[in-house]
Structure 1
Amino acid sequence: MKTYDKSISRLQAAKQHLAGGVASSLRASMKPVPLYAESAKGARIRDVDGNEYIDYLLAYGPLILGHSHDGLNASVNQAMHSGYAFGLQHDGEIELANLLAQVLPCADKVSLSGSGTEAVMLALRLSRAFTGKTKIVRFHGHYHGWSDSIFTSFPSSGMSQQASEAEASRVPPGTFGQSANSLEDIILLPWNDPAALESLLRSRGDEIAAVITEPVMCNSGCIQPLPGYLELIRKLTEEQQIVMIMDEVITGFRLGLGGAHERFGILPDLVVIGKAMGGGIAISAVAGKAEIMQLVDDGKVSHLGTLNGNCISTAAAIATISHLAQDNGAVYGRMEELFNGFADGIRSLLGKHGIAGVVNQIGPVMHMMFIDAAEVNDFDTFNQRDSARYARFAELMLEEGVLLRPNGLWYISTAHHKRDIEETLDAMDRALARMRS
């Protein structure tokens, strides 16, 4: 039986001066306590109580190479010796921009920033400036960062649901404290609903600057687009002179070097990338068509940020992408094959224990949920899952030595191997048996 006494003690100490006791509100939902880490390497992480875990949280997604990757460490260390940040330009910015233009099919030019939220803000600003229109279409269950202008109520474990009963005519804010006017330009639609999309864009296209979409609903069930749906978004936005933004903060550099838009064969006008690009070092970017990015060139759209393109983040991104690109990206095939088998193993265990559940998986991203449904292909069905039961499962898996995100989203890295998967399935067998009893 694992103990978490030191994590509990540290959380109480943190609450004296650290608001909420954690640095990001999402982390507070972990049970039995938000863990305090001591060290990590590869696919394993150790907490301050000496417990070791196979890690599928991976810092909520960025650690595509696993923890403390030797090559990434060396590149960052070398960059640190030259200087952290200059407030001037340096060769790393040029090298990374060139690299992104090579691997991302939609990228003529890029702008570098520090987080996915910042990159989304820039993409929206570019879209409005380019089209001269103001409205933004986004979809239920998608997540595009926490800025006031895009953050809507997001009913999942660990995130605010306080606004879910707001009037149907208003877009519900994601948190208390948002300006009442912050979401006036947002139009919410159900995703994977071609009729609703076409009706709106054809009737109000002269108001709409952009449609922003995740290519896969990773946070909300790892739901994939219906056949032809992304193509329909592309067709309609082109017809109505609307900017198509693909938010690949999660899928970028996870579903392949060229992200989901390469995998699905779609060329959006703008793509937002982050998380995995830096391998754990904070960095993000907007990439896209030259005629849109020209607005930054001309100074018509301000793109600000003291640490944008700093030496550490660019070195980390170059090292991460270069490692992923080795042998023509062979590591992606290995990760996908590993996770395909893993997903099948989980389904078999659910059947063995007579527990109703669904596993949605694409590449090295997976969502597991307890639900009385044969499949989960839309947000309404996803919201019928038993999130409390899954949170309990994640707590049991922690006791078994496996670290999971409490909402059901799993990642693997290049550092995970067959042995890790086998140990995890054994742990899951025990945890599911405890749940059934």
Structure 2
Amino acid sequence: MKNYDKSVSMLAESKAVLAGGVASSLRASMKPTPLFAESASGARLRDVDGNEYIDYMLAYGPLILGHANPVLTSAILEAMNKGYTYGLQHSGEIELSKLLTEVLPCADKVCLSGSGTEAVMLALRLSRAYTGKTKVVRFHGHYHGWSDSIFTSFPAPDMKSQAADAGADKVPPGTAGQSENALEDVILLPWNEPEVLEATLRSRAHEIAAVISEPVMCNSGCIAPREGFLEQMRALTQELGIVLILDEVITGFRLSIGGAHGRFGIKPDLVTIGKAMGGGIAISAVAGKAEIMNLVDSGQVNHLGTLNGNGVSTAAALATIGELAKDNGAAYTHLERIATDLAAGIRGLFEKHGIGGVVNQVGPVFHMMFTDQKEVVHFDQFQQRDAGKYTRFAELMLEEGVLVRPNGLWYVSIVHGAEEVNLTLQAIDRIFARL
């Protein structure tokens, strides 16, 4: 049995001074206790009790290059030696913005910010200013940050709230303390249901400023869009004068160098990106059509943020994207192969042990769940998974030296290899025998 005494002790110490004992509420769900990290490198992380893990959580997604990547570290140190942030402009902002307009198919111009939540806030504000309308369509099971105006309840094992049924009159808030009026402009729809989407957009186009959607429902089962669904969404929003926002905070620079919209051949009006773009350093962006982004140029839409585009974050993004793009994007071939080997291996182990389960994979990201269903292609099906069983599985994986998110979403990095895959599948084999 692994010992977590130091993590338990530090959590108690932390709770005395840090609200909740963790810096992000999501982290509190880890069993048997939220871990405290000591160090990490490559695909491995070590906790304060001396336990080492193969890491598939990867800081909830940003660490696409793995921990302490030497190229990224060197770029960050070089930038820091020139000064962390200036409150003035610098060449890194221009260089990164140029690069983003080159690699992201929808990007004429960009705005730089610090987090995915901030990027979504700006994208929504731009959409409302551009259209002169206020309503926003979003979908059950998608996550767009935790700001009051878009954070609805998110039903997953590591978040406590439960989503209301589709069609409910009142949109459920994601947390206590949200303004009662904050979600009045949100229209909450089921995803992957083209008839519902079309009926809503056609009947309410006069009041809808934007449709915001993850291109893949990563947090809720890694559910891929139904064939033609994103294309229909794009065509309808274009026809009806509604801004299409694809939230690629997770999928951006993970599904391809051009994000999911580049991979799928969809050109939204705006895209939000973050997480993997900085390789672990806080940075995000909104990118899109010049005529919408020009609202920032003209001053009609304010874009604020003390640390926006600072030298450390822009250097990190440039280094990360450079590593992902070199050798004609060989990193993506590797990422997808590792994810595919893991997903296929887990499916085989479900079958070997007679355990009901599904692994949904889109490119180098996948979601593992315990369920008796043969497939999970809709949010309602995802809701029927055995979330408690997966939470227990994640706890047992810690005992085996493997760190995974308690909600079932797995990430891989460019430094995960065959050794990590084999050790991980051996660990799952042993755990399934116990389950």
The alignment's TM-score, normalised by the length of structure 1, stands at: 0.99
Alignment of 1:116 with 2:116, yes or no, is yes
Per-residue deviation, 1:33: 0.3
Q: Quote the residue 1:368 is aligned against.
A: 368
Query: Quick one: distance in 2 between partners of 1:294 and 1:256?
Result: 27
The worse-fitting range, judged by mean Cα deviation, of 338-347 and 305-314 is: 338-347
1:292-322 deviations in Å (ceiling 9; x for gaps): 0000000100000000000110000000000
Q: Quote the residue 1:152 is aligned against.
A: 152
1:416-435 to 2 correspondences below 5 Å: 416-435=416-435
1:261-276 to 2 correspondences below 5 Å: 261-276=261-276
Q: Quote the residue 2:296 is aligned against.
A: 296
Query: Quick one: distance in 2 between partners of 1:178 and 1:326?
Result: 44
Per-residue deviation, 1:425: 0.2
Please tell me whether the aligned partners of residues 166 and 190 of structure 2 are also in contact (alpha carbons under 8 angstroms): no
SS of 1:156's equivalent? coil
Query: Quick one: distance in 1 between partners of 2:397 and 2:353?
Result: 16
1:99-139 deviations in Å (ceiling 9; x for gaps): 00010000000000000000000000000000000000000
Change (3 A) 1:20 1:167: farther
Per-residue deviation, 1:162: 5.8
Per-residue deviation, 1:337: 1.4
Per-residue deviation, 1:165: 8.1
Per-residue deviation, 1:56: 0.1
1:245-282 deviations in Å (ceiling 9; x for gaps): 00000000000100000110000000000000000000
1:182-221 to 2 correspondences below 5 Å: 182-221=182-221
Amino acid at match of 2:96: L
1:30-59 deviations in Å (ceiling 9; x for gaps): 000000000000000000000000000000
Q: Quote the residue 1:177 is aligned against.
A: 177
State the percentage of identical aligned residues: 71
Amino acid at match of 1:155: P
Amino acid at match of 1:360: N
Query: Quick one: distance in 1 between partners of 2:163 and 2:103?
Result: 40
Query: Quick one: distance in 2 between partners of 1:6 and 1:25?
Result: 20
Please tell me whether the aligned partners of residues 245 and 271 of structure 1 are also in contact (alpha carbons under 8 angstroms): yes
Per-residue deviation, 1:434: 1.1
Per-residue deviation, 1:338: 1.7
Query: Quick one: distance in 1 between partners of 2:212 and 2:166?
Result: 23
1:43-84 deviations in Å (ceiling 9; x for gaps): 000000000000000000000000000000000000000000
Q: Quote the residue 1:379 is aligned against.
A: 379
Please tell me whether the aligned partners of residues 166 and 172 of structure 1 are also in contact (alpha carbons under 8 angstroms): no
The alignment's TM-score, normalised by the length of structure 2, stands at: 0.99
1:51-130 to 2 correspondences below 5 Å: 51-130=51-130
Query: Quick one: distance in 1 between partners of 2:119 and 2:145?
Result: 9
Query: Quick one: distance in 2 between partners of 1:162 and 1:349?
Result: 31
Query: Quick one: distance in 1 between partners of 2:18 and 2:162?
Result: 23
1:34-45 to 2 correspondences below 5 Å: 34-45=34-45
Per-residue deviation, 1:160: 2.7
How many residues end up aligned between the 2 structures? 435
Query: Quick one: distance in 1 between partners of 2:38 and 2:268?
Result: 41
SS of 1:420's equivalent? helix
SS of 1:224's equivalent? coil
Please tell me whether the aligned partners of residues 273 and 284 of structure 2 are also in contact (alpha carbons under 8 angstroms): yes
1:227-238 to 2 correspondences below 5 Å: 227-238=227-238
Q: Quote the residue 1:335 is aligned against.
A: 335
Per-residue deviation, 1:361: 0.6
Query: Quick one: distance in 1 between partners of 2:191 and 2:176?
Result: 25
Per-residue deviation, 1:371: 0.5
Query: Quick one: distance in 1 between partners of 2:297 and 2:160?
Result: 38
Per-residue deviation, 1:392: 0.1
SS of 2:286's equivalent? strand
Query: Quick one: distance in 2 between partners of 1:413 and 1:162?
Result: 31
Q: Quote the residue 2:28 is aligned against.
A: 28
Which consecutive residues of structure 1, in runs of 5 or more, have no partner in the other structure?
none
Alignment of 1:135 with 2:159, yes or no, is no
Query: Quick one: distance in 1 between partners of 2:338 and 2:7?
Result: 32
Amino acid at match of 2:106: C
Q: Quote the residue 1:5 is aligned against.
A: 5
Q: Quote the residue 1:253 is aligned against.
A: 253
Amino acid at match of 2:6: K
Query: Quick one: distance in 2 between partners of 1:169 and 1:38?
Result: 47
Query: Quick one: distance in 2 between partners of 1:302 and 1:426?
Result: 53
Amino acid at match of 1:231: E
Amino acid at match of 1:238: Q
SS of 2:38's equivalent? strand
Query: Quick one: distance in 2 between partners of 1:164 and 1:291?
Result: 36
Please tell me whether the aligned partners of residues 14 and 21 of structure 1 are also in contact (alpha carbons under 8 angstroms): yes
Query: Quick one: distance in 1 between partners of 2:339 and 2:167?
Result: 41
Amino acid at match of 1:26: L
Amino acid at match of 1:120: V
Query: Quick one: distance in 2 between partners of 1:389 and 1:413?
Result: 26
Query: Quick one: distance in 2 between partners of 1:289 and 1:196?
Result: 27
Amino acid at match of 2:154: F
Query: Quick one: distance in 1 between partners of 2:356 and 2:429?
Result: 14
Please tell me whether the aligned partners of residues 113 and 309 of structure 2 are also in contact (alpha carbons under 8 angstroms): yes
1:322-351 deviations in Å (ceiling 9; x for gaps): 010001111101110121121110000011
